[in-house]
Structure 1
Amino acid sequence: MMTKIAIFLIIFLQTFQIFSQDTTIVVTPVLNKDLKFKYEALIIPATLVGFGVIGLESASIKNMNTNTRDEIKEHIDENLSIDDFSQYAPFASVYALNAFGIKGKNNFKDRTIILTTAYLIMGGTVGILKSTSSVERPDGSSFNSFPSGHTATAFMGAEFLYQEYKDVSVWYGISGYAVATGTGFFRMYNNRHWLTDVAAGAGIGILSTKIAYWVHPLIKKTLFKDRKDTNGLVVPFYNGKEYGLGAVVRF
């Protein structure tokens, strides 16, 4: 099982290594005006994912997981469910800021396409890894610990917030990443995830958003070329049992 995961992630990461020949490159001559990518942007998230994957087999990192869990448990009085909601705060902030008149990089249509793309990439990747890795949660409740979906969602949103508002103020991005980091911490605090789960989730979340921005020109051109006026609302939802992302869009 671990071999399958390793092969999947090696292929996944090798796919991005083709972009390392130049600082900015293009994928095909047909799309060279749209798809440009800076390989340096992959270093941090790829490192986080790599650390998480290595931790699936490394005895020393597994010991680190256990020691971190035990250290946190010494200071836990009661579980706090703030992470169930904070995971959505960074990307929800983009729509809130726009609602208050603080304009970001993209209009509603473009940012919603980007967010949806990032969410699909992130959710698909997390789902595949959870179903194939079979890592037991620290609290022993299930075997879908790796990677942390809450953390992936939070860091996906943090990178989204950063990309949309980095030209307005870097502090928006910093605040988003602070909330995402807090979400990852509380996943460990609540004994739901190991350190490696959180690290891998963070890397997947960041990568998902970066890829979404990279492929956005192609998606917009091929799927939404005739849709010029788009309005709507994107919000997280909670029905008492499940959490998710809901969207109401009017074309």
Structure 2
Amino acid sequence: MRFPASLLFLLWLTPAALHAQTTPPAPVQPDTIRKYENPGGVSAAVPKPWYKGKLVKATIVPALLIGYGASTINGNGLYSSYDARRDIQRQFPNFRTRIDDYLIFAPYLELGAVALAGVESRHDRLNTLLVIVKSELIYGALTYTIKNTTKIRRPDGTTRDAFPSGHTAQAFLAASIVHTEFREKSQWYGVGAYAIATSVGALRMLNNRHWQSDVVAGAGVGILSAHLGYLTHRNRWGRKPKLDGLGFSPMYQDGATGFALVWRPQ
């Protein structure tokens, strides 16, 4: 008895098909080599170029001011200190005032007045005070070191500690604090503070106490001191703890009754 060729083919194929259906697929081995490379498919953060870093932003303007001031010491550079003094003496030969001795703290008075008026600053009062103290220490160290290294004689011939101008540096430090604390509220707070600081620098030259180079470099030192004060601050002090765990409970001890204050910081 002969079977058709198609029937023989089906009989041959059926065991293989049944075997293919009943045989479980081989388990897929997980890829453990790359499982920690990028979990969740989040794109890797692209590092910023060095010129966009915080340190560069904090130092670029002060570096330009200090560099230009240093380049115009005595008769050097573009429009030197000698040129500036000659023009000032020609226009204001007998100018004298001591108001610059008091204006150096005017930006701090502005800072306090604006805060008392209820304008919210960038930091709370304690952290702002800590930044000011840190910036003042940096300013003191920088001015003392540079003055005693350069030993530039003042234009009135009195002492050899002209470069940079400490009055100007102090005024611009305080102005930078005001600008940083209130610039998110209004830029005019900083404009007013920098105007006061600029007037201090101008008065130091009009009083024949400083060269142009001293004043320009002093502005850079003051701004740099404030920027470094903020750059190294982490705003970790003065945080108010939550009072969710604050409560009262009755207390009886040794015949005395009262209340006990219970506080569990959250």
Do these two structures clear the TM 0.5 threshold for a shared fold by scoring above it? yes
Picking from 79, 82, 85, the partner of 1:69 is 85
Q: Deviations over 1:189-222 (max 9, x none)?
A: 00000011001100010011111111111xx54x
Picking from 231, 236, 245, the partner of 1:214 is 231
Report the Cα distance in structure 2 between the residues aligned to 1:63 and 1:21, rounded to whole angstroms.
Answer: 33
Q: CA RMSD in A?
A: 2.1
SS in 2 for 1:213: helix
8 Å CA contact 2:75, 2:83 repeated in 1: no
Shift of 1:20: 6.8
Picking from 81, 84, 98, the partner of 2:98 is 81
Shift of 1:43: 1.8
Counterparts in 2 of 1:74 and 1:115: CA distance versus 1, 3 Å: same
Picking from 121, 129, 152, the partner of 1:104 is 121
Picking from 156, 159, 164, the partner of 1:139 is 156
Q: Deviations over 1:25-55 (max 9, x none)?
A: xxxxxxxxxxxx2523422210111122233
The residue aligned with 2:52 is 23
The residue aligned with 1:30 is none
Over the matched positions of the two proteins, sequence identity in percent amounts to 33
Structure 2: runs of 5 or more not aligned: 1-47, 241-266
Answer 1 or 2: which has greater helix percent: 1
Shift of 1:186: 0.4
Counterparts in 2 of 1:129 and 1:49: CA distance versus 1, 3 Å: same
Report the Cα distance in structure 2 between the residues aligned to 1:128 and 1:71, rounded to whole angstroms.
Answer: 30
Shift of 1:128: 0.8
Matched, 1:60 2:76: yes
The residue aligned with 1:188 is 205
Shift of 1:105: 1.1
Picking from 174, 181, 206, the partner of 2:191 is 174
Q: Deviations over 1:63-83 (max 9, x none)?
A: 721121121112323301111
TM-score by length of 1: 0.71
TM-score by length of 2: 0.67
Counterparts in 2 of 1:117 and 1:20: CA distance versus 1, 3 Å: farther
Report the Cα distance in structure 2 between the residues aligned to 1:212 and 1:183, rounded to whole angstroms.
Answer: 22
Shift of 1:62: 8.8
Report the Cα distance in structure 2 between the residues aligned to 1:169 and 1:187, rounded to whole angstroms.
Answer: 29
> Match of 1:116, as an amino acid?
V
- Which 4+ runs in 1 deviate beyond 6 A? none
Matched, 1:129 2:146: yes
SS in 2 for 1:216: coil
Number of residue-to-residue matches in the alignment: 192
8 Å CA contact 1:20, 1:39 repeated in 2: no
Shift of 1:61: 3.0
User: Quick check: which has more Rg, 1 or 2?
Assistant: 2
> Match of 2:131, as an amino acid?
I
> Match of 1:21, as an amino acid?
W
8 Å CA contact 1:114, 1:212 repeated in 2: yes
Report the Cα distance in structure 2 between the residues aligned to 1:118 and 1:133, rounded to whole angstroms.
Answer: 22
Picking from 49, 58, 61, the partner of 2:66 is 49
> Match of 1:64, as an amino acid?
S
> Match of 1:48, as an amino acid?
L
Report the Cα distance in structure 2 between the residues aligned to 1:63 and 1:48, rounded to whole angstroms.
Answer: 14
The residue aligned with 2:39 is none
Report the Cα distance in structure 2 between the residues aligned to 1:89 and 1:100, rounded to whole angstroms.
Answer: 16
Matched, 1:199 2:228: no
Q: Deviations over 1:136-167 (max 9, x none)?
A: 00000111000000000011011111000000
> Match of 2:127, as an amino acid?
D
